[in-house]
Amino acid sequence: MPLLRFDTPRARRAPLLPALLLLLAPAACGRRDGDPAREMLASTLRPGDRLIALQVVDPDAPERMVVVVVPEGGKPELRILELQREEQGAGGAWRVAHRAPQGDLFRKLDVEDVTGDGRPEILATSLGGHLEVLEVYTRDDDGAWRSAFQNGGQEIEKRHAPGGAIEFWVTSRTYEERPGQPPTYATGIYRWDGRSFTEAGRK
């Protein structure tokens, strides 16, 4: 049983830094004198940090990026970084707006509007124990980032409902089988209700 099926190819789950910088260049060029991704990395990566994923949150606003790094001797960590410009509008410094641990093994980073509000969310998938864990980070009106959804199971799928809304199908073992019977599984369907992702049904 596959652990994760998203709409992007498997080969993009853990892209290397050079490929990411090439992808970022068209969106980032022209906004500052240098490449925002390179400037951000130079000013925020700590000694011993190993970069494993990087993505611009909004291609039209490269002043906001998300990275996943493995600190020396530590476990994967997601960091959302924002460029704080000076009052005159030029220059500025990158700051960590939000950070969160990412389980034992990081799997995938994606950016997509999954709440339908026109603003992109950050989707991070990691392995915790024997479960695949998906966490969705959203940005509130005041600019603060928070976790809007976290769930884990043997299989997580992102699907589109008939009306176009995005759903997360999380399949987990129920442990309701009797001795000698094969394992039983159930799938919970989670959908955004305007305030949070709530269970909309089970299969």
DSSP 102-149: --SEEEEEEEE--SSSSS-EEEEEEEETTEEEEEEEEE-TTS-EEEEE
Handedness of CA 12, 25, 145, 190 (dihedral sign): negative
2, part of any domain: no
85, part of any domain: yes
> How many other C-beta atoms lie within 10 A of the C-beta of residue 97?
16
Q: What is the dihedral of CA 26, 121, 150, 173, to 10 degrees?
A: -70
Residue 91 confidence (pLDDT): 66
Q: Which residues contact 98 (CB under 8 A, 6 or more apart)?
A: 78, 79, 80, 137, 144, 145, 146
User: Three-class SS of residue 34?
Assistant: coil
Domains identified in the chain, total number: 1
Does the pLDDT of residue 162 top 50, yes or no? Answer: yes
User: Which of 9-18, 169-178, 188-197 is predicted least confidently?
Assistant: 9-18
6, part of any domain: no
Measure Cα distances from 119 to 58, 61, 164 in Å. 9, 12, 16
5, part of any domain: no
| Range 90-106 average pLDDT | 89
28, part of any domain: yes
- The better pLDDT of the pair 18, 59 is held by 59
Distance CA 12, CA 29 (A): 23
Does the pLDDT of residue 48 top 50, yes or no? Answer: yes
Distance CA 146, CA 129 (A): 24
User: Position of tokens 């299989």?
Assistant: 155
User: Position of tokens 């089988």?
Assistant: 177
Which domain covers residue 107, as residue numbers?
A: 13-202
- The better pLDDT of the pair 142, 35 is held by 142
Residue 58 confidence (pLDDT): 87
Question: Both tokens of residue 97?
Answer: 């707006």
Q: How confident is the model at residue 33 (pLDDT cuts 50, 70, 90)?
A: low
94, part of any domain: yes
64, part of any domain: yes
61, part of any domain: yes
Residue 35 confidence (pLDDT): 83
Residue 37 one-letter amino acid: A
Q: How confident is the model at residue 31 (pLDDT cuts 50, 70, 90)?
A: very low
